């Protein structure tokens, strides 16, 4: 007997179910059974965006799907309240059923709750200083896998500088070593970090009021649990679907603007300044912040004793125990 563990919901029919008649990869099409949801083929990575998917990775994905179909259940790192309509739809049409047992991060206290004798990292001390001054901070991080090329890095530096917001930016060392005077120019407003950071501790810090993120699911769910709104900049894998979810469906995020309107287009500094300011200071940012506080509270309650995820996992354990005894 197997239980398949999924990091996120991602219960979307294969891309070859739809979008076949779109002449452009950026032309929106409606998702079957959910006509209010509009996607483009560019919301998917190759080979799934192709009209005739093929190749070793596609073959691996097919084999993985077949193996998962033989599992007893799919355990999802999410909570039912966030995607109830989609979970119910999936479970009414497909097998094995999806069981929301997360968010996992809400079940564990952040690192800062451990030994008080540990010296705070320099970036936490910097955030403490911002909080003491009553200043809000934008946290910027794109994960460990997404590749930010030098041309795009330069636009980000210009955008952050011109936005005039306070920011903490976690960046790869090879990019940060480019000596163009950026760090010196923003030293009173921004901190560039090349070391590993405890993202949950950063997001839960009182000064952090926004997250410029690639929208990997772990980052999305950690932001929700910390009740921090997102500025979405998806780059690869399922991140474009996650971005549409947080921006268009649950409305806890805004989105950066690409220069050509394509979901995978280049982002110039102008496409960063406007949404950064809107997230941190504008009315849309306030609405997203209010919404994420409500959803964040629900995420925390889901894993508490008696919560939806707690109950779902407990029921599954009892079900499996009974099955073994037969």
Give the count of alpha carbons within 13 A of 273, CB side only. 11
How far is Cα 222 from Cα 199, in angstroms, rounded to an integer?
8
- DSSP structural state of residue 49: T
How far is Cα 133 from Cα 156, in angstroms, rounded to an integer?
25
Token digits for 196? Answer: 């590993």
For the chain, how far is it from start to end, CA to CA, in angstroms? Answer: 14
Domain boundaries, the chain: 122-300
- DSSP structural state of residue 94: S
CB atoms within 10 A of CB 225: 27
Which of 82, 108, 77, 304 shows the shortest CA–CA distance to 198?
108
Contact predicate 141/213, CB 8 Å: yes
Token digits for 174? Answer: 């090879």
Phi, psi of 207 (to 5 degrees): -85, -20
Note the CATH architecture for domain 122-300.
3-Layer(aba) Sandwich (3.40)
Contact predicate 269/224, CB 8 Å: no
pLDDT, position 21: 63
Token digits for 140? Answer: 């910027």
pLDDT, position 128: 96
How far is Cα 225 from Cα 105, in angstroms, rounded to an integer?
8
pTM score over 0.85? yes
How far is Cα 275 from Cα 236, in angstroms, rounded to an integer?
21
Contact predicate 76/98, CB 8 Å: yes
CB atoms within 10 A of CB 152: 15
Residues 6+ positions from 123 with CB-CB distance below 8 Å: 168, 191, 193, 197, 202
pLDDT, position 325: 66
* Per-position DSSP letters for 201-257, written without gaps between them: HHHTSTTEEEEEE---HHHHHHHHHHT--EEE---STTHHHHHHIIIIIS--EEE--
How far is Cα 256 from Cα 150, in angstroms, rounded to an integer?
18
CB atoms within 10 A of CB 27: 13
How far is Cα 217 from Cα 241, in angstroms, rounded to an integer?
10
In order along its 326 residues, the chain shows pLDDT tens digits of 444 445 554 444 444 455 556 667 788 888 888 988 888 888 888 788 787 888 898 889 888 888 888 899 999 999 999 999 999 999 999 889 999 999 998 887 765 544 555 788 999 999 999 999 999 999 999 987 777 788 888 999 999 999 999 999 998 766 666 667 888 898 889 999 988 899 999 999 999 999 999 999 999 999 999 999 999 999 988 899 999 999 999 999 999 998 887 788 888 999 999 999 999 999 999 999 999 999 999 999 999 999 999 999 999 999 998 877 65
């Amino acid at each position: 007997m197997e239980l398949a563990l999924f990091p996120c919901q991602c219960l979307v029919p294969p891309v070859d179910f739809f979008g076949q008649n779109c002449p452009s990869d950026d032309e929106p099409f409606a998702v079957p059974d959910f006509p209010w949801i509009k996607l483009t083929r560019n919301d998917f990575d190759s080979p799934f965006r192709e009209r005739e998917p093929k190749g070793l990775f596609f073959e691996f994905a097919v084999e993985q799907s077949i193996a998962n179909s033989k599992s007893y259940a799919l355990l999802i790192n999410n909570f039912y309240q966030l995607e109830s309509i989609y979970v119910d739809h999936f479970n009414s049409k497909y097998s094995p059923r999806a069981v929301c047992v997360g968010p996992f991060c809400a079940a564990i206290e952040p690192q800062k709750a451990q030994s008080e004798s540990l010296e705070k990292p320099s970036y936490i001390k910097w955030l403490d200083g911002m909080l003491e001054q009553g200043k809000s901070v934008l946290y910027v991080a794109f994960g460990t896998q997404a590749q930010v090329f030098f041309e795009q890095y330069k636009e980000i530096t210009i955008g952050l500088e011109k936005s005039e917001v306070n920011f903490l930016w976690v960046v790869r060392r090879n990019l940060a070593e480019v000596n163009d005077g950026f760090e010196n120019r923003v030293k009173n407003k921004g901190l560039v970090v090349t070391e590993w950071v405890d993202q949950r501790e950063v997001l839960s810090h009182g000064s952090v009021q926004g997250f410029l993120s690639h929208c990997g699911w772990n980052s999305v769910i950690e932001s929700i649990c910390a009740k921090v709104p997102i500025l979405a900049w998806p780059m690869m894998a399922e991140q474009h679907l996650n971005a549409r979810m947080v921006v268009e469906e649950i409305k806890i995020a805004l989105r950066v603007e690409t220069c050509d309107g394509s979901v995978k287009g280049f982002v110039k500094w102008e496409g960063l300044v406007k949404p950064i300011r809107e997230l941190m200071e504008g009315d849309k940012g306030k609405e997203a912040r209010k919404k994420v506080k409500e959803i964040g509270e629900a995420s925390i309650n889901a894993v508490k004793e008696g919560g939806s995820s707690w109950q779902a996992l407990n029921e599954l354990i009892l079900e499996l125990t009974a099955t073994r005894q037969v």
